[in-house]
Structure 1
């Protein structure tokens, strides 16, 4: 018997839907170095999945002598410029899976800690009607790993969190999705998701279909939360 599709699929953006993490890292290093500091790849990885204001405070600690709001604005502008010049770098299989879910009538939302105008830039560069909703970092009072972003998305879509699948690539994002009560799917990219509480991990979205999402959602109550790929 074919499993029913979830009521909605909620997508993290950076690192999950699109591979923009290198764009962020490319913006961070010269900013820190312009103030005489150093910025390692390991430090950059530490910002993956953080709210932009939290990331900006860490950059201040690294020597960037700018207010938090200015750091967020500067980094966002640089990443948006990279998107416009280089296009949307979809993660493997993400565009295809998203298109299948849309064709099947599943509600979809971006739930990101990037600024709304950056998320809007990504959505506008996609060549089909991809999302019903954007919840961005400047839309919520508390960022990931708090449950607020996913709870807000579910409320706006009119769906129960348990009837959704949330797709994430970072521990903070997964903690947010789990705390909100969604069925959380981890797709590792730059950082390990071991111990993040995901209902399951897929090494990639490549080759995955809407039917796979339906089976994953339907099966989550039969399998305890775990880290092995399913």
Structure 2
């Protein structure tokens, strides 16, 4: 059996851009005379960019408006993406296989449209049937709105889809929307959550494996009760 659609997070899930974001955060804060830490950077993984920008203002000498901070971050990250798109292991292969199987994919990212387009533009046309970005939703992750919007744009039921995420914030968003979620932890650990299963990598994962992961998790849970 195949899902009705697969809803992909971008940063850290489809592409390994979290190091790009962390590098940009360090640069912005240090140019303002402050010191940024990886501990702070890891707290921002998966967040709505407005939340992250306000966090940077609150924890550094950077006094730019949040929108200006976001635009500065995006400019730096997009420049790095245009130089090299760091695909996560197995992601492009799974995307390609989903397309060949007739399963639509949507991108659900808290990055803004400009960065999403830079990433999507590196893939064959039509790879994503829909793109939902952080600057186009009222409530960002961990709110369920981004995933609900993606399913609505594809005309599918959220419970018949599968989401792929790498961060606690993203997993909470997808689970709250009612989407069965595959967590692929990367930069930060993801706590175990009802409604989500974890895999170490997408390498070797096929379209038919996605729903089977949840069947396996249910059988394992039943065997331990």
Tell me the TM-score range normalised by the shorter chain: over 0.9
- In structure 1, stretches of 5+ residues that fail to align are 225-230
Paired with 1:140 and 1:176, the residues of 2 have a C-alpha distance of: 13
Contact 1:83 1:122 in 2 (8 A): yes
Q: CA deviation at 1:129?
A: 3.2
Q: Please report how far the alpha carbon of residue 199 of structure 1 lies from its aligned counterpart in structure 2 after TM superposition.
A: 2.1
* Mapped contact 2:171–2:196 kept (Cα < 8 A): no
Tell me how far apart the structure 1 counterparts of residues 140 and 54 of structure 2 sit (CA, whole Å): 14
Cα distance, 1:210 vs structure 2: 1.1
Shift of residue 222, structure 1, vs aligned partner: 5.5
Q: Does 2:94 align with 1:97?
A: yes
Is the partner of 1:10 in helix, strand or coil?
Answer: strand
Shift of 1:50: 0.5
Aligned equivalent of 2:118: 121
> What are the superposed Cα offsets for residues 65-96 of structure 1, whole Å, 9 maximum, x if unpaired?
1000000111011111111112x111001110
Distance 1:18 1:198, change over 3 A: farther
Give TM-score scaled by structure 1 length: 0.91
Which stretch shifts more, 134-143 or 208-217?
208-217
Equivalent runs, 1:55-66 vs 2, <5 Å = 55-61=52-58, 62-66=60-64
Which residue of 1 is the match for residue 165 of structure 2? 168
Q: 1:74 aligns with which of 49, 72, 76?
A: 72
Q: Is the 8 A contact 2:113 2:133 kept in 1?
A: yes
Which residue among 156, 180, 190 is the counterpart of 2:187?
A: 190
RMSD of Structure 2 on Structure 1 (CA): 1.5
Deviation of 1:214 after TM superposition, in Å, equals 3.4
Structure 2 residues not aligned, in runs of 5+: none
Normalising by the residue count of structure 2, what TM-score does the alignment of the two structures yield?
Answer: 0.93
**Residues 103-128 of structure 1, C-alpha deviations (whole Å, 9 max, x = no match):** 10001000000001210110011145
Structure 1 consecutive aligned stretches of length 4 or more whose deviation exceeds 6 Å: none
Matches within 5 A, 1:147-162: 147-162=144-159
Is 2:197–2:214's contact at 8 Å kept on the other side of the alignment? no
Q: Is the 8 A contact 1:165 1:217 kept in 2?
A: no
CA spacing shift, 1:172–1:196, aligned 2, 3 Å: farther
Aligned equivalent of 1:227: none
The correspondence of residues 40-55 of structure 1 with structure 2, limited to 5 A, is 40-55=37-52
The alignment covers a number of residue pairs equal to: 220
Given that 2:185 and 2:200 are in contact with CA atoms closer than 8 Å, whether structure 1 keeps it comes out as yes
